[in-house]
Structure 1
Amino acid sequence: MKLTITGTSGFTGQNLIHYLVDYDIYKQSIRYVPNQEIYLDNTESIIHLAGKAHDLKNVSQPQDYYEANFELTKQLYDAFLKSDARKFIYISSVKAVADSVNDVLTEEIKPAPQTHYGKSKLMAEEYIKSQPLPEGKSYYILRPCMIHGPGNKGNLNLLYKFVSKGIPYPLAAFENRRSFLNIENFCFVVKELLVQDIPSGVYNLADDESLSTNELVSLIASCLDLKPQLWTIPKGLIKGIAQLSDVLKLPLNLERLNKLTENYVVSNAKIKKALKKEFPVSAKQGLQKTILSFKE
């Protein structure tokens, strides 16, 4: 099977290429150019990873998101519809639905994204769903939550540095639960979609279990053979410090504070029912692999 994959230079793309090593893969380097024609020759499936990720520093222009995440996806999907390819896998995001979750995020929840990132991803989703699908073709819109794995830097790495240096975790007062997605589980789902006959549609991606940040701190400490240090500092004081982060050049700004303490539990029931298979890695096993990779 020949695959065309966009966005192969990033963390997710690099891992996916390694996971699909037995396939004939064409790495398509692509960016949005107005009125460009994209040709997909001699390929059976397209996996579209390319796009603009959420900007934690908020320095990107809104148009950057709509061009990279919506306009480019529209051009590529149009090319797919005209081609002989059978399957189109679009990597969207849970942020196309909601920036915060009170209960559990399922595919039935009406999307209401608040950021340009989320809105642009949703626009791409809606375009794909709105187009007549020729017989023999399928599309899969995947909405992963936070993907992690060895080699991935981000908030997990920031938390790891806190714990590894013996610095007490000062956010224990925040009660939360959130879902994660191990990169191996992500790659597993993509491969299964390539080989199985699964109905077209939207699918959330997350590990089976959700964890609180306090549990995550304890897990990091156990990987380092340390005793977890959890400080319960009043929430109001922590939020005030985070608001001053840009002035004081502190690593904990409001964006990172929200990432560390938000409730964001994502259901994977729909995709597991469709695949009729269990994920290969549990949430804690996957997180342990990622955490231990930070020691290298």
Structure 2
Amino acid sequence: MEYLKEHKNIIKKEANSVKKFIITFLQNEDEKGRNTDRAVSDLADLFYQEYLSSNLIEKHKEYFKKIINDLRFHSYNYDPKKVDRILKTLENEVYGNFMEIKETFSKHKIEDYEIFEKLTYESFFSQILKYTLYQKVNARLENSIPHLIEAIKLFYELNNYTDFSTTFLIDESEKITVLKINNIFKKYGRKFDLKKITHKSSNEKSIIDKIKSTFDENEKIILLNLAFFQGDTIEKTEKLKLILLIGELTDYSLFEGLAKNSTFYKKVASGIDHYGKKNQEVYLDSILLKIETLELNITKGFLRKLKSISIGTK
């Protein structure tokens, strides 16, 4: 598998392509006279549409979660003094899982199985590397690193992208420090307002608190089912977000005896199936509307899938 040694070049080349896409879009928006916030917001929307919405791995990402996590956490499995950690992850964990996924698609005739049957590992490894980059960039454009968004806004206002490095797209978030962004602001004689970012974080907390207060007990039960009874369908980070979002519960019947005798437990274990078909769509639509602005993409996708199943079985 000599071709795997090209992994760094593949990521670097694709990051340069993504950077060009971002700069070109922002320059076009500047020519249209768009204000900064609108331009950056539209950039995030367009990036998802162009790079992820029709991506085959994104479409079937529930099957690729383990591969994505192996690549994301490659630094924990190998010693950097001994080996290239990403290379070894691609040779071992990713390859093994890829072969299992191909077999699963073929055996169960899952949608697009013909494509996966023909897909070589040489082609796939390049696709999965690019996909993980797209995920990372998408999260950043959606404000996962607020000070980076402030830098992008600065570049837009100056119409100067000299300091827009591909490392902002590739590096792990902890390497994109506030100090690094502050130095860019200083270079252009601008003041970097850290309080502005802190204030935004407070506003986001306020928004989440308001959303939390709108969930009724039935909607909380459905979200608990997603967090605890859907296996690995939803990744751990997103499950924690759901638990925080659910907040306080008022049914303490679980403390009064065996779980199997608890009505509350039975409801949570059943999830959406506990409710009649007429109410299922109502609850699912309500939850989707309430979490629309939150970064819960896996949850949203799963809820839409449940809604589709519910409508299809009426």
Q: Same fold (TM over 0.5)?
A: no
Relative contact order (alpha carbons < 8 A, sep ≥ 6): 1 or 2 greater?
Answer: 1
TM-score (norm 2): 0.22
How high is the TM-score relative to the length of structure 1?
0.24
- Structure having the higher strand fraction is 1
Point out the structure with the larger helix share: 2
